[in-house]
Amino acid sequence: MAHSLEFKNIGKLYPGVKALDDISFRTEGGKVLALMGENGAGKSTLLKILAGDIKQSEGIYLLDGKEQDFKNPHEAILAGVSVIYQERQMIPALSVAENIYAGFLPKKGGGIDRKTLYANAQKIIDKFGLHMDAHTKVARLSVAYQQMVEIMKAYSRNPTVICFDEPTASLSDAEISALFRIISELKEEGKIILYVSHRMAEIFQVADSIVVLKDGKYVTSMDVADASEEKLIRAMVGRDIGDTYANLKRNDKYGDVVLEVKNLNNAKVHDVSLTIRRGEVVGLAGLVGAGRTELVRAIFAADKVTSGEIILDGQPVHFKSPHDAIKAGIALCPEDRKEQGLVLFRSIRENTTMPVLSELKKGAFLDKKKEKEIAQEAIEKYDIRTDTMEKLTTQLSGGNQQKVILGRWTNSLMKTKLLILDEPTKGIDVGTKAEIYQMVCDIASQGIGVIFISSETPEVIGVADTIYVMHNGRITGQLKREEATEEKILALAMD
Amino acid sequence: MKSSLFKRVLRSKLLPLVAVTVVVVAFFGITTNGFLSASNLRSIMISMCLSGMIGVGMSMLLISGEIDLASGYEACMGGIITALLIKAGIPWPAALLITIAAGAVMGGILAFLVNKVGLMGFISSMAMISVYNGLDYIVTKAQDVTITAEHASFYSLGAGTVGFLPIPFIIMVVLMIIYGLILYKTEFGRTIYMTGGNRAAARLAGVNRKKITSILYINNSAICALAGSLVAARMHCANAAACTSGSIDAITAAVLGGVSFRGGDGNMGCLFIGVALVTFFNSGLTASGLQSYWQIVVQGLLLVVALCIDFVNERSRQKALSQVAI
Tens digits of residue pLDDT in A122-150: 998 888 878 888 998 888 887 778 888 88
Whether A408 and chain B come into contact, CB under 8 Å, resolves to yes
Mutate to test the interface with B, among A346, A358, A408 (most CBs of B within 10 A): A346
Q: Report the residue of chain A nearest B324, measured CA to CA.
A: A395
Mutate to test the interface with B, among A345, A368, A397, A411 (most CBs of B within 10 A): A345
Residue A381 CB-density burial (10 A; 0-12 exposed, 13-18 middle, 19+ buried): middle
Q: pLDDT tens digits, residue range A292-306?
A: 999 999 999 999 999
For residue B288, tell me if it sits in a domain. no
Contact B326 A394 (CB under 8 A): no
For residue B48, tell me if it sits in a domain. yes
Cα–Cα distance between A245 and A234 in angstroms, integer?
Answer: 17
pLDDT of B271 above 90: yes
Contact B198 A300 (CB under 8 A): no
Whether A413 and chain B come into contact, CB under 8 Å, resolves to no
pLDDT of B325 reads 38
Q: Which of residues 115-154 of A touch B (CB under 8 A)?
A: none
pLDDT of B321 above 80: no
pLDDT band at B248 (very low <50, low <70, confident <90, very high): very high
pLDDT of B173 reads 97
Identify which of A41, A340, A344 has the shortest CB distance to residue B204. Answer: A340
Q: pLDDT tens digits, residue range B28-48?
A: 999 888 888 988 999 999 999
Reported as type and span, the H/E element at residue A23 is: strand A17-28
pLDDT of B86 above 90: yes
Q: Which of residues 20-79 of A touch B (CB under 8 A)?
A: 39-45
If you ran DSSP here, which 8-state letter would residue A417 be given?
S
Instruction: Work out the minimum CA distance from B320 to partner chain A, whole angstroms.
Output: 8
Residues of B in contact with A332 (CB under 8 A): 204
Whether A239 and chain B come into contact, CB under 8 Å, resolves to no
Whether A357 and chain B come into contact, CB under 8 Å, resolves to yes
Q: pLDDT tens digits, residue range A52-63?
A: 888 899 999 999
Reported as type and span, the H/E element at residue A122 is: helix A114-127
Identify which of A334, A346, A398 has the shortest CB distance to residue B197. Answer: A346
Q: Which residue, A341, A338, A286, is CA-closest to A456?
A: A286
Residues of A in contact with B185 (CB under 8 A): 364-366
Q: Which of residues 358-397 of A touch B (CB under 8 A)?
A: 358, 360-361, 364-366, 394-397
Mean pLDDT over the full length of chain B: 90
Q: Which of residues 261-300 of A touch B (CB under 8 A)?
A: 300
Residues of A in contact with B63 (CB under 8 A): none
Q: Which residue, A198, A169, A164, is CA-closest to A182?
A: A164
pLDDT of B3 reads 47
Contact B187 A332 (CB under 8 A): no
For residue B285, tell me if it sits in a domain. no
Contact A361 B187 (CB under 8 A): yes
Lowest mean pLDDT among A14-23, A129-138, A462-471: A14-23
Identify which of B204, B205, B321 has the shortest CB distance to residue A344. Answer: B321
Q: Which residue, A173, A407, A396, A172, is CA-closest to A293?
A: A172
Share of chain A above pLDDT 90, in %: 48
Mean pLDDT over the full length of chain A: 88
Q: Which residue, A192, A331, A349, A342, is CA-closest to A259?
A: A331
For residue B213, tell me if it sits in a domain. yes
Stated pTM of the model: 0.76
> Domain containing B169: what range?
37-280+293-309
Contact A40 B187 (CB under 8 A): no
Cα–Cα distance between B309 and B304 in angstroms, integer?
Answer: 9
Cα–Cα distance between A480 and A252 in angstroms, integer?
Answer: 13
Q: Domains in chain A, ordered, with CATH? A: 4-237 (3.40.50.300), 257-494 (3.40.50.300)
Identify which of B187, B264, B323 has the shortest CB distance to residue A345. Answer: B264
**B148 vs A455, higher pLDDT:** B148
Structural domains of chain B, count: 1
B300 C-beta neighbours (distance < 10 Å), count: 12
Q: Report the residue of chain B nearest A38, measured CA to CA.
A: B326
Return the bridge partners of A6, or none: A26, A62
Q: Are B64 and B196 in contact (CB under 8 A)?
A: yes
For residue B18, tell me if it sits in a domain. no
Cα–Cα distance between A460 and A304 in angstroms, integer?
Answer: 27
Q: Are B213 and B111 in contact (CB under 8 A)?
A: yes
A431 C-beta neighbours (distance < 10 Å), count: 17
pLDDT of B326 reads 32
Instruction: Work out the minimum CA distance from A329 to partner chain B, whole angstroms.
Output: 11
pLDDT of A147 reads 81
Q: Report the residue of chain B nearest A20, measured CA to CA.
A: B325
**A241 vs B100, higher pLDDT:** B100
pLDDT of B203 reads 93
Residue B294 CB-density burial (10 A; 0-12 exposed, 13-18 middle, 19+ buried): exposed
Lowest mean pLDDT among A228-237, A353-362, A409-418, B18-27: A228-237
CA dihedral (B309, B314, B315, B321) positive or negative: positive
Cα–Cα distance between A64 and A86 in angstroms, integer?
Answer: 27
Q: Which residue, A343, A357, A311, A329, is CA-closest to A419?
A: A329
A409-412: Cβ within 8 A, 24+ apart = A409/A331, A409/A333, A409/A355, A410/A331, A410/A378, A410/A381, A410/A443, A410/A446, A410/A448, A411/A352, A411/A353, A411/A356, A411/A374, A411/A377, A411/A378, A412/A374, A412/A377
Instruction: Work out the minimum CA distance from A14 to partner chain B, whole angstroms.
Output: 9
Contact B201 A398 (CB under 8 A): no
Average pLDDT over residues A7-14: 88
SS3 track for chain B: CHHHHHHHHHHCCHHHHHHHHHHHHHHHHHHCCCCCCHHHHHHHHHHHHHHHHHHHHHHHHHHCCCCCCCHHHHHHHHHHHHHHHHHCCCCHHHHHHHHHHHHHHHHHHHHHHHHHHCCCHHHHHHHHHHHHHHHHHHHHCCCCEECCHHHHHHHHHHHCEECCEEHHHHHHHHHHHHHHHHHHHCHHHHHHHHHHHCHHHHHHCCCCHHHHHHHHHHHHHHHHHHHHHHHHHHHCEECCCCCCCHHHHHHHHHHHHCCCCCCCCCCHHHHHHHHHHHHHHHHHHHHCCCCHHHHHHHHHHHHHHHHHHHHHHHHHHHHHHHHCCC
Contact A354 B202 (CB under 8 A): yes
Q: Report the residue of chain A nearest B203, measured CA to CA.
A: A322
CATH of residue B67's domain is 1.10.3470
For residue B28, tell me if it sits in a domain. no
Contact B200 A357 (CB under 8 A): no
pLDDT of A213 above 80: yes
Residues of A in contact with B190 (CB under 8 A): 350, 354, 357, 366
- Give the rounded distance of the alpha carbon of A147 from its chain centre: 13
If you ran DSSP here, which 8-state letter would residue A80 be given?
T
Mutate to test the interface with A, among B4, B260, B324 (most CBs of A within 10 A): B324
Contact A322 B194 (CB under 8 A): no
Cα–Cα distance between A41 and A39 in angstroms, integer?
Answer: 5
Q: pLDDT tens digits, residue range A246-255?
A: 788 888 889 9
Query: Is residue A359 helix, strand or coil?
Result: helix
φ, ψ (nearest 5 deg) of residue A493:
-70, -30
Q: Are A40 and B323 in contact (CB under 8 A)?
A: no
Q: Which of residues 173-232 of A touch B (CB under 8 A)?
A: none
Q: pLDDT tens digits, residue range A266-284?
A: 999 999 999 999 999 999 9
Cα–Cα distance between A146 and B52 in angstroms, integer?
Answer: 47
Q: Report the residue of chain A nearest B205, measured CA to CA.
A: A355
Instruction: Work out the minimum CA distance from A420 to partner chain B, whole angstroms.
Output: 12
For residue B141, tell me if it sits in a domain. yes
Residues of A in contact with B64 (CB under 8 A): none
Q: Report the residue of chain B nearest A301, measured CA to CA.
A: B204
Q: Report the residue of chain A nearest B183, measured CA to CA.
A: A365
pLDDT of B112 above 90: yes
Cα–Cα distance between B65 and B59 in angstroms, integer?
Answer: 10
For residue B244, tell me if it sits in a domain. yes
Share of chain A above pLDDT 70, in %: 96
Cα–Cα distance between A308 and A317 in angstroms, integer?
Answer: 11
The amino acid at residue A397 is: S
Cα–Cα distance between A274 and A251 in angstroms, integer?
Answer: 20
Q: Report the residue of chain B nearest A414, measured CA to CA.
A: B205
Cα–Cα distance between A137 and A96 in angstroms, integer?
Answer: 6
Q: pLDDT tens digits, residue range B72-83?
A: 999 999 999 999
